[in-house]
Amino acid sequence: MQGAIGTMFRMFRYTGQVAKRKRKRRTSYAWAAPLHTAGITLSADGKRGLGYARELAANAADRRAALLAGEAVLPYRLTVNDLAAREDESPISVHTLIKCARTEAFGDRCQSALFRHLARRREIAERSDRICAEPACTTLLPHCSTVRRRFCDQHQRVAERVRRHRARLSSVPRS
């Protein structure tokens, strides 16, 4: 206790103001709502944790929708403690199960990286199919390829690139 008071006194003395504690941001479980588990293998604990996270995310979405609709009474805010009491478990075990699901689905990413990953996944899903830029080729490019990619696997090779370059050079008249 003495160390904290001394630190605050020093901060006041040097800056002229008392340091305010940063308010902890409420944990978001929005990552669980759009998650499709088709390509992901989750353990039994991961599946339970994903179910808890989806319940919390759905509750937050309902509260947000009610707030935006201008409703006078918002739905009850569901918390991890409520889920733990309902399932007759400790809140720590519910948090552990949710963390297990998130780690199995996304690895050890931070919150912002996780949402960037989901946004990129959504952007890729919305992209239209593209065809190889080679004139005679009708092959579709892989759906997850970047916007910059123009050629299919066959026409992306070095030999094909050299062939295109040489054809372009031979078509340009020399002066």
For the stretch 53-97, pLDDT in tens is: 999 999 999 999 999 999 888 889 999 999 999 999 999 999 999
Q: Are residues 72 and 122 in the same domain?
A: yes
Token code pair at residue 57 = 């995310």
CA distance 58 to 64: 10
pLDDT given for residue 116 in this prediction:
86
Same domain, 80 and 136: no
* Tally of structural domains, the chain: 2
The verdict on residue 92 lying in a domain is yes
Asked if 173 and 102 sit in the same domain, the reply is no
Report pTM.
Answer: 0.61
Residues 74 and 152 in one domain: no
Structure tokens given for 126: 């919305």
Range of the domain at 140: 130-175
139/174 same-domain check: yes
